[in-house]
Amino acid sequence: MWDYLRLWLGGRRGFFTHIHHEGVPIEYSWDILERLNDIDAYKPPEERALRKALIRRVPDRMLPPSLLKAEKEYWEAEAAKVRARRKYARAPFGSVTKREASEEYGAAERAHSSAEAVFDEERDRVEWNEIHAKVCHPNCPWTPSKRNIFSRGNSSSIKVLKG
């Protein structure tokens, strides 16, 4: 499965088409492999082929630079928060080091929240319908007026994609 992700999707994290069957056409996934596994484990067998056929990673070159910058800053803030949490967890209880680590961890959490808010704002500014039209399958059953990949039925829709 990982080769499939690496070669076809471009990685496990990023923006993908049709992570869910209705609503917005493109969403961010922290780990698309989890979603693919959930589809195989929990979705009706007649829906699985169409769901998986429509999941495609949006290439970074199609995303606004401001969004990519916000994503990078988010992940940097996430890493700093993890480092601060580890430092806090390792500091001896009741020590000056523990208090300093606690303050550092609090600052890292605030920076992370701020970076996440900026990332969310940038994501909300993107015109996803236009990107969807360029990235997704030409016969995708999802449209801005019929915001559901099953608008043409469950299992028969995969035939539409092949034709």
Query: Does the structure show a pLDDT above 90 at 131?
Result: yes
**Spatial distance between the Cα atoms of 63 and 15, rounded to a whole number of angstroms:** 9
Q: What pLDDT was estimated at residue 64?
A: 96
Q: What pLDDT was estimated at residue 138?
A: 85
Q: Report which of residues 154 and 22 the model is more confident about.
A: 22
Query: Does the structure show a pLDDT above 60 at 5?
Result: no
**Spatial distance between the Cα atoms of 62 and 133, rounded to a whole number of angstroms:** 12
Residue 38, classed as helix, strand or coil, is helix
Q: Report which of residues 162 and 130 the model is more confident about.
A: 130
Task: Give domain limits for the chain.
Answer: 2-62+127-162, 65-125
Residue 54's CB is within 10 A of a number of other CB atoms, namely 22
Give me the mean pLDDT over the 107-111 stretch.
Answer: 98
The answer to which of 30-34, 61-65, 81-85, 119-123 has the lowest mean pLDDT is 30-34
Q: Considering the chain, what is the average pLDDT of its residues?
A: 88
If you count them, how many residues does the chain have?
163
**Spatial distance between the Cα atoms of 51 and 135, rounded to a whole number of angstroms:** 15
